[in-house]
Amino acid sequence: MAATRFPNKPMALIDGMPMIGHCYFRSKMSSLLREVYVATCDIEIYDYIVSIGGKAVMTSNSHERATERCAEALINIEKDTLQKFDILVMIQGDEPLINPEMINESIKPLLSGENQVSNLMASLNGLEDALNPNFVKVVTSVKSNALYMSREPIPSNSKYKNSIDYYRQLGLIAFSREAVLKFIELPTTRLEIIESIDMNRFLEHQFPIYMTLTNFPADSVDTIEDLKLVDIKMKSDKLYDQYKLL
């Protein structure tokens, strides 16, 4: 709720429903998730999720990284339920048009046991989008593992005159239980701080992140203008029809 760019963003209304509500209901539609919790440090969000019949868990208000909040939530949930969960998926609360199939796409690379962290990415529409610092750009290896993530355009176009495919890292990341707990054990890194990107901590410690290209649109809300566009799209969204009267 204290986000500097967009205060009170999670509770901003989209067709009359708080943004976090859209994220919650759509996440519940994933066929691979067993439980969905909203991790928050704000009692207003906690109370709202409980009021719609959802599950929420209170976390510290001192976290610098979303992954750290998710790790604390996992620890608290396992303590309360006396269960251990094999896979945790971090779903951002500012992507109210998320398709549940995207969640499934992030989970599938972990099911074989070959990967411990799986992240979605989406194509960007040229250099203008690549220059937007709200979009985290990612470059990958030939084995589809992330090499680096930046808020600047990568790769550089200064010496390459042909068109470049730019990719945006999405805030939808699946972790093995071991990986998300490992994250909070690793020291904070220089590039993580410079770029303000969680996953650079893993990359600097040479912990592989498998990237999957999704064809679903990504509509994150970073500004009031983004909210207005999403509000228009939501009114004709087919998934919305399945939960808007709940």
Render pLDDT for 123-147 as a digit per residue (tens, 0 to 9): 999 899 999 999 999 999 999 999 9
The answer, yes or no, to whether residue 246 has pLDDT greater than 80, is no
What's the whole-model pTM score? 0.92
Q: Looking at residue 8, what is its pLDDT?
A: 87
φ/ψ of 63, rounded to 5, equals -70, 135
Burial letters for 181-197: b for 16+ Cβ neighbours within 10 Å, e otherwise?
ebbbeeeeeeebeebeb
Which residue segments constitute the domains of the chain, with CATH numbers given? 9-242 (3.90.550.10)
Q: Looking at residue 137, what is its pLDDT?
A: 98
Residue 123 parent element (H or E): strand 117-123
The answer, yes or no, to whether residue 6 has pLDDT greater than 80, is no
Q: Looking at residue 222, what is its pLDDT?
A: 87
Q: Mind listing the pLDDT tens digit for each residue in 226-241? A: 999 999 999 999 999 9
Pairs from 53-59 (Cβ < 8 Å, separation ≥ 24): 54/24
Q: Looking at residue 164, what is its pLDDT?
A: 95
HSE-CB at 8 with a 13 A cutoff on CA atoms is: 5
Residues in contact with 107: Cβ distance below 8 Å, sequence separation at least 6, in sequence order: 32, 33, 87, 89, 118, 174
